[in-house]
A and B are shown apart, each in its own frame.
Chain A
Amino acid sequence: MEGDIVEMGKFIGAGLACTGMGGAAVGVGHVVGNFLAGALRNPSAAPGQTATMFIGIAFAEALGIFSFLVALLLMYA
């Protein structure tokens, strides 16, 4: 019985940790959206900044990856 409760707590915790990935999704969307808004205003400057956009996406995504990691650790470790 006690083991089941621990198990349940793990799964609930993993599910809650996954909500953090939504934040990363919002962040990535924000980065790309702002990039696109700027690129449409000044299309000639856009190609030089694509790499910067990808770096920004990677940094925004990193924090979502931590919540994913926490979820994985709760589930399997």
Chain B
Amino acid sequence: MKESNESQFNIHPMDQFIIEPILSGGEGLQWYSFTNQALWMLFSLVAIALLFIFGIRKNEVVPGRLQSIAEILYTFVRKMVLDIAGPEGLKYFPYVFTLFIFILFGNILGLLPYSFTTTSHIAVTGVLALAVFIFVTILGFVKNGFKFLGLFWISSAPLALRPVLLIIEVISYFVRPVSHSIRLAGNMMAGHAVIKVFAGFAGALGVGAVAPIVAIMAVYGLEMLVVVIQAYVFTILTCVYLNDALHPGH
């Protein structure tokens, strides 16, 4: 981390994640100052609005291109909630859908050059995962009362094993938000850092940098896939946790 040599190989793959205040006249970072991260969150909000509000303006039988995308996303998440959390889960579909499109658009916009990946920050994903965790825990107690604790007391296991399983289940329950958030942030951060490292190689090699550019293209293609899958995984885990809260028996 102590790169004192100021040569061409001075690559800072993490610099793209720095949060800087913009439009603030140099007063430093306050809790309210408008940062590059807030700007890109706003961009994803605008992109979602463009797709879902202006893309589906026409009420046609055969949908256009944008409308098809919007409808596929919508029916996909709806079916996921219905399949995993059951019909009772559909009540919480707006929140799950909000999470999905926010993460998806944050991830995809983060792949644009010079952009900022909002979902690569542990603070962001941590807040999202903690919100899901707290919401699901409260929902479980509200819906099932103290029967919700049966989630940790596996009645199908032999009696001697149950205390051990209790410990394991409690730990894995409280570890959920950690893995939930770090999976997303870690994947986003690692992918973008790798692209940045290859880009640094390309910059150092100059005109003859064919291999790094091919590598960037390959990693970029992989990242397109990872970006969508991570949004999917975050959403599907939310559905699984929701299902645990709604039906703790199994």
Contact = CB atoms under 8 A, between A and B. Distances in A.
A53 to B, nearest CB: 10
A12 interface: no
A68 interface: yes
A68 B186 contact: yes
Contacts of B80: 51
Main secondary structure of the interface of B (DSSP, over half): helix
A69 B182 contact: yes
Interface string B59-100: 000000000000000000000100110000000000000000
B84 A65 contact: no
Nearest to A58: B233
Contacts of A57: 233
Contacts of B182: 65, 68-69
B237 interface: yes
A66 interface: yes
Contacts, number: 33
B178 interface: yes
Interface residues of B, number: 16
Interface in A34-66: 51, 54-55, 57-58, 61-62, 65-66
Interface string B208-233: 00000000000000000000010011
Given A62-B179, A65-B179, A54 B233 contact: yes
Contacts of B179: 61-62, 65-66
A73 B160 CA distance: 37
Contacts of A75: 1
Contacts of B175: 62
Interface in B181-200: 182-183, 186
B166 interface: no
8 contacts: A55-B236, A58-B236, A61-B179, A62-B175, A65-B179, A65-B186, A66-B179, A69-B186
Interface of A: 51, 54-55, 57-58, 61-62, 65-66, 68-69, 75
Lowest 8 A-B CB distances belong to which pairs? Answer: A62-B179, A58-B233, A65-B182, A65-B183, A65-B179, A68-B186, A69-B182, A58-B237
Given A54-B236, A55-B240, 8 more contacts: A51-B80, A51-B83, A54-B232, A57-B233, A58-B183, A58-B237, A65-B182, A69-B178
